[in-house]
Amino acid sequence: MAELDKPQREVEVPGDWTYASAPESRDIVEIADRYGHFVGGEWLEPTETYETIAPRDEEPLAAVGQATAADVGRAVAAARTAYADGWSSLPGSERAKYLFRIARILQERSREFAVLESLNGGKPIKESRDVDLPLAAAHFFYYAGWADKLEYAFPNRRPRPVGVAGQIIPWNFPLLMLAWKVAPALACGNTVVLKPAETTPLTALLFCDVLRQAELPDGVVNIITGDGRTGAALVESEDVDKIAFTGSTEVGKEIQRRLAGTGKKLTLELGGKAANIVFDDAALDQAVEGIVNGIYFNQGHVCCAGSRLFVQESIYEPLVAKLERRLTTLRVGDPLDKNTDVGAINSAAQLERIRELVASGEEEGAEIYQPPCVLPEKGYWFAPTVFTNVAQSYRIAQEEIFGPVLSVLTFRTPEEAIEKANNTPYGLSAGVWTEKGSRILWMAQRLRAGVVWANTFNRFDPSSPFGGYKESGFGREGGLHGLEPYLTFEDSETFGG
Ligand code: NDP
């Protein structure tokens, strides 16, 4: 065997395993200097504009219109005309063709959209590329499939479109939230006026180009930009038949008050303070990945983020040690770098809110851990943060932080876990980590949350309904359930059963 021995050569072992930067080129996206409102298939010149920026370095990206009540009125009128002029009476199979086209175009242009989403919103490119864009396209594909099957989805109920839908979306998943709202609305035969969030209008404006490419009839989707005043004007518009809102509980309540007694349909997808519950029989390394995904995905700007971690007491120390070690490997930085795990905070206002709540956690007596990481000097940044020694009464355990901040609490028995997890005004989502199937079912029946994930977190599929209890809102988006808010039904008895 001696002759087979390879000559021994000294191989230099690299000592530095730091990732080289791998920036995604932004050349693929063309950003105009100025944008108007997309109304009736045309660009409406705005009377007033504001600047939208890149949160990673505060670079100004474009001047965007601030829609006035008159602009909102024009958009609603265009949507009403398109509704009456044929869209609502188009056979479902014809509407489906447009939705399929939109889905395909989104897939074809996904890189362009992903770069723009990360640039304007601050989320890591690997998330916009691998999560936001594929899911947005999947929503259009999914609801295209329902457009000609509404009679079968709701047998004997004679589904009819509602009319003009006013849709107001937040800044955490700008294109995905647009897809969640526009796809079911169109599949059901409604027309739309959509307002993206003030800080993240650019992918919605690029989407107007997709609508033109898909040759969607003019006025079926209208996009107006602006701040909360524009949203309020849309809510108050008399000719809107339905409002779909995703955002803060405070604004959601205000909208509900305004619409009370008007007969308009309303769905609210609001905040959350999800419990992620880890039992002592769970696969700890897998759970740590789920915890990290649950709270640091999209910088924690996620309504269903697992922001309260409940750990069974017997595994508290090893789990927290593993979690803190894992945090040291998270790469915080340029959203356009393909290696980045945690990107920029969406806005100065949101950064301020995170800082204020984190300061309250320290003042109230919680223990803070942040991994060593160098944050860029310009732009809005916050290091991934874990709080231990947290009491349930602390603000960081009660209020939605909407940032990369986790509060760790403990429990001894499943009953105690349920009691603590449900001790919140919210009820959007929860996670359970255990190897026992029966325990998963026992927990899922008792957790007051719209979605309960088992041995995973933040999993989305267009066919699965999503929505909340209590102050997390009402109505469901996604799946068959997501069609209902965009339909009216004739009484099945009148119809003859
Ligand atoms: P908002 O609820 O203010 O924003 C959501 C959307 O509503 C935006 O398009 C916003 O416009 C619009 N809007 C604001 N005021 C009104 C109004 N009076 N009538 C109609 N529409 C309105 O959320 P923020 O951006 O202020 O975030 C604050 C907090 O809300 C976050 O820290 C987080 O806790 C929570 N939040 C929860 C989200 C969720 O998915 N559940 C999403 C976003 C935030 P504009 O952007 O121009 O203000």
Q: What is the DSSP string of 229-293?
A: HHHHHHHH-TT--EEEEES-HHHHHHHHHHHTTS--EEEEE-----EEEE-TTS-HHHHHHHHHH
Asked if residue 408 lies in contact with residue 388, where contact means CB atoms within 8 angstroms, the answer is yes
Q: Which atom of ligand 1 is nearest to the CA of 302?
A: 40
Q: Return the SS3 of 410.
A: strand
Task: Report the pLDDT value the prediction gives residue 20, as an integer from 0 to 100.
Answer: 87
Q: Which atom of ligand 1 is nearest to the CA of 270?
A: 41
Give the Cα separation of 188 and 99 in Å (integer): 11
Within 8 A by CB and 6+ apart from 306, the residues are: 274, 275, 276, 290, 291, 294, 295, 406, 429, 431, 457, 458
Tokens of 381: 């940044």
Cα of 403 to ligand 1 centre, how many Å?
Answer: 15
What H or E segment, with its residue span, contains residue 228? helix 228-236
Strands (E), 355-450: 367-369, 385-388, 405-411, 429-433
Angle subtended at Cα 471 by Cα 470 and Cα 474, rounded to the nearest 5 degrees: 65
Give the Cα separation of 218 and 121 in Å (integer): 28
Count CB-CB contacts under 10 A for residue 3: 4
The residue contributing the CA closest to ligand 1 atom 5 is 247
Give the Cα separation of 347 and 263 in Å (integer): 36
Helix 228-236 to helix 249-259 angle (10° resolution) is: 30
What string of pLDDT tens digits covers the 497 residues of the chain? 555 666 667 777 777 777 889 999 999 999 999 999 999 999 999 999 999 999 999 999 999 999 999 999 999 999 999 999 999 999 999 999 999 999 999 999 999 999 999 999 999 999 999 999 999 999 999 999 999 999 999 999 999 999 999 999 999 999 999 999 999 999 999 999 999 999 999 999 999 999 999 999 999 999 999 999 999 999 999 999 999 999 999 999 999 999 999 999 999 999 999 999 999 999 999 999 999 999 999 999 999 999 999 999 999 999 999 999 999 999 999 999 999 999 999 999 999 999 999 999 999 999 999 999 899 999 999 999 999 999 999 999 999 999 999 999 999 999 999 999 999 999 999 999 999 999 999 999 999 999 999 999 999 999 999 999 999 999 999 999 999 999 999 854 444 33
Question: Which among 235, 248, 259, 477 is the best mutation to test ligand 1's pocket, defined by most ligand atoms within 8 Å of the CB?
Answer: 248
Within 8 A by CB and 6+ apart from 366, the residues are: 387, 388, 389, 390, 391, 394, 396, 407
Cα of 180 to ligand 1 centre, how many Å?
Answer: 17
> pTM of this prediction?
0.94
The residue contributing the CA closest to ligand 1 atom 19 is 232
Give the Cα separation of 237 and 258 in Å (integer): 11
The ligand 1 site (C-beta within 6 Å) comprises 168-172, 195, 197-198, 227-228, 231-232, 235, 246-248, 251, 254-255, 269-271, 303, 350, 353, 400, 402
Look-up of token digits 């650019």: 202
The residue contributing the CA closest to ligand 1 atom 30 is 248
The residue contributing the CA closest to ligand 1 atom 22 is 228
Query: Which 8-state DSSP code applies to residue 337?
Result: B
Helix 92-108 to helix 133-146 angle (10° resolution) is: 170
Tokens of 181: 């709202």
Q: Return the SS3 of 38.
A: strand
Q: Which atom of ligand 1 is nearest to the CA of 227?
A: 47
Task: Report the pLDDT value the prediction gives residue 497, as an integer from 0 to 100.
Answer: 34
The catalytic residue positions are 269, 303
Q: Return the SS3 of 44.
A: strand
Q: Which atom of ligand 1 is nearest to the CA of 350?
A: 32
Question: Which among 68, 177, 194, 251 is the best mutation to test ligand 1's pocket, defined by most ligand atoms within 8 Å of the CB?
Answer: 251
Q: What is the DSSP string of 109-152?
A: THHHHHHHHHHHH---HHHIIIIIHHHHHHHHHHHHHHTT-HHH
Alpha helices by DSSP H, 391-436: 395-398, 414-421
Tokens of 10: 């000294």
Cα of 450 to ligand 1 centre, how many Å?
Answer: 20
